[in-house]
Structure 1
């Protein structure tokens, strides 16, 4: 359960960086020559280009100056890895976390440990930049900084912030044209859901409960709550902040119309249905207990708008096709 929560909170999670000069705090060493060819395509070469040096702050408030695009990148999060591959940077990825499984190519990349990272493996990868989420624990952050590894952390809490991160990574890595294509597709998918739900009145909105890991739900301030809201639902845990352990009695009182759960978690649906008194909940009485792809649901990367469509279809199957 702990790993699932960490994945969410990191996924809720993300990273980016690359840079310049000899700064010890927030600088990135001069990238080594590329060994696998440029990530840019002919069409990209004619598109928007990043002007270096580039100075940017990450979500931890740390400032970085990039002399040029990084050539060797380590990602400690499945979400960041998906963004990097979507930008065509697979040949520059020198390592990923043990949990990275998408796209297929990510599985064959050198492993850098779990979501907290393995410093020895990261050092051996010799990265210009390490992308990670704010969920990285303080000890890991301190260790990576002590080793003079350039750690860039991001933490998108909404779908719009996830789109902005794609554009940010494109700017840092000089793949802006591809980043804009990915962002436009995400915006298009988000708008398709909005258009499908445009006739939905306030009093028609369904109450939704989501459980990603046994006994845990999500309140305000997290991208999964944003997913439910954009999908036209009302999160029954919206009075909470962040990830919280549930009160079973409170969920009964909230009486959600739809229950969503991570279908990859063993026996989670059985756990939900077997709780005392939950058979009285409308969602269970009306067979509206719906499992969704947890890797889509948990990662605010390029596929998060596909997760939005899945959530909207689960809540309003007659409106969202």
Structure 2
């Protein structure tokens, strides 16, 4: 009888240890340390739960990973119905710190441009994680970073796997279509280099960037000043245009530019191969939607190629 009692007692202790070791509370309290895309090491005593995000791309990634948001980027663009009541708190260039602090976030997720505001954020007791969307590889690294931070690593691996499959799909899709990507409005536009996000998408979707040898602007990494003379000399097959703050005004200004004597004789203009790219996919990193950007770009390149082969 005594042996039976000892055995039952041992079993109860063993079960108790198993239950305690797998306690959800303990898992939730587990700390996490990550190195962000600015090379900063940030430690959290417990996994962050209240999240503020300041860029649409990161917002999309966090939603796809299943992370709850308490503060989102200020934007006039339509948002998912589930985010309608989430406070808008500014963006990476103009954060509204009063609103950010008011929602009591455990972490602020922001793109590279937010580095200028990191010290102020720290002075307000905010913890910041910097992501990047300068290239497809940067987007994948950001997804991996966020997956680790929010204990969503398996979901992050699945997302990255999908992106890799998409890149592989187009890796041999060299269309030989020569393109230029303009970002801005009218003659004040910038030209996207291969080192920009949109330039990287163009390359990986099978296009050739005529601005590959243009000089980068120090203030805008990945972009060059618009040189009408060089574009006319290169005579691209297609002109891609990325609209930003005011799409209607941008389109109006770009159509006016294309009608000038310098531009209207270009091959792309004559063939009506001037394409306005959707800002939600190309104005900045679209996060987990990067596959959609690759699909869109490749589809447009193939349309232009079909025109050239007629």
| TM-score w.r.t. length of structure 2 | 0.77
Query: Within 5 A, what are the aligned runs for 1:214-253?
Result: 214=185, 215-239=189-213, 240-241=215-216, 242-253=222-233
The equivalent residue for 1:283 is 268
RMSD: 2.5
Deviation track 1:129-185 (CA, whole Å, cap 9, x = no partner) reads: 0011111262x3332121121011122322122122212211110112222222222
| Relative contact order, higher structure (CA 8 A, sep 6+) | 1
Query: Which 10-residue stretch deviates more, 212-221 or 71-80?
Result: 212-221
CA drift of 1:269 comes to 4.2
| TM-score w.r.t. length of structure 1 | 0.75
Deviation track 1:22-78 (CA, whole Å, cap 9, x = no partner) reads: xxxxxxxxxxxxxxxxxxxxxxxxxxx999543222222221123332110000111
Of structures 1 and 2, the larger Rg is shown by 2
Query: Within 5 A, what are the aligned runs for 1:5-154?
Result: 52-89=30-67, 92-99=68-75, 101-115=78-92, 116-136=94-114, 138=116, 140-154=117-131
1:259 to 239, 249, 252: 239
CA drift of 1:260 comes to 0.9
Query: Which 10-residue stretch deviates more, 166-175 or 154-163?
Result: 154-163
Structure with the higher helix share, 1 or 2: 2
Unaligned residue ranges in structure 2 (runs of 5+): 1-26, 217-221
SS in 1 for 2:288: coil
The equivalent residue for 1:311 is 297
Aligned pairs, number = 263
Deviation track 1:288-316 (CA, whole Å, cap 9, x = no partner) reads: 11122111113421111211111111112
- 1:275 and 1:105 map into 2 onto residues whose CA distance is 45
